[in-house]
Chain A
Amino acid sequence: DTAVSQTPKYLVTQMGNDKSIKCEQNLGHDTMYWYKQDSKKFLKIMFSYNNKELIINETVPNRFSPKSPDKAHLNLHINSLELGDSAVYFCASSQDETLYKVRQFFGPGTRLTVL
């Protein structure tokens, strides 16, 4: 059983298009995240949601909008795609227990290529 799943795995699109990446976790976790791994392999957090509420929103362009219909899903919508949006996007989830037990479970990633 896949714990954190993302669709699609690959996404190739033209500049200016609007696209979505879906994420689902079946771990019963309260918190979900979106990370971006750029060409330099730097893995950086974009958003964090806890029980459908936004708790972390890093300096991400407002073309990126996360949507959480329920605590098992956190989808990422990207409007007016730009070349610099090309990256691998990882969804993750965690169960907030105590400070020292927070570890994240990652999805397989979505490789977005903007042409």
Chain B
Amino acid sequence: DQQVKQNSPSLSVQEGRISILNCDYTNSMFDYFLWYKKYPAEGPTFLISISSIKDKNEDGRFTVFLNKSAKHLSLHIVPSQPGDSAVYFCAASATGNQFYFGTGTSLTVIP
């Protein structure tokens, strides 16, 4: 039972353009969401988070949007850079301790 879904396994974007990665969840009790970035042969690294009391959180080129009514989360990267090429996982938590992860979206930024 997959409570967090990333329906796009891959995405290609031109350098300088916006990358939009999407994430959907089913559990309405989730109240904290994170995005992780993963390079090959490395573990995921934390990128940005948002709590359910907000609908937007911004950190430099990265912005996460939360639409609670649609149970939808998105990560915007602008402008996209080749170094952003990685797999992006979204994760959600209802307890603050146990996270449910999506299956990841592989982003390729084309120079």
Closest CB in chain A relative to B97 CB, distance in Å: 6
With known contacts A4-B43, A92-B43, A108-B41, A99–B96 Cβ distance under 8 A: yes
B98 touching A48, Cβ below 8 Å: yes
A109 at the interface (CB under 8 A from B): yes
Across the interface, name the chain A residue whose C-beta is closest to B52. A100
Structural contact, B97 and A100, CB atoms closer than 8 A: no
A56–B43 CB distance below 8 A? no
**Known contacts A40-B103, A43-B89, A108-B41; is-contact A103 B46 (Cβ 8 Å):** yes
Q: Determine which of B41, B45, B97, B104 lies in contact with A102 in the assembled complex, contact meaning CB atoms within 8 Å.
A: B97
Chain B interface secondary structure, helix, strand, loop or mixed? strand
Count residues on chain B whose CB falls below 8 Å from chain A CBs.
24
Which of B43, B45, B96, B101 is within 8 Å of A42, CB to CB? Answer: B101
Is A115 in the interface zone, CB < 8 Å from B? no
21 A-B pairs with C-beta separation under 8 A: A4-B43, A41-B104, A42-B103, A43-B101, A45-B100, A55-B97, A90-B44, A92-B43, A96-B97, A99-B31, A100-B49, A102-B32, A102-B93, A103-B34, A104-B99, A106-B43, A106-B45, A107-B43, A108-B42, A108-B43, A109-B43
Binding site for A on B (CB under 8 A): 2, 31-32, 34, 36, 41-46, 49, 51, 87, 89, 93, 96-101, 103-104
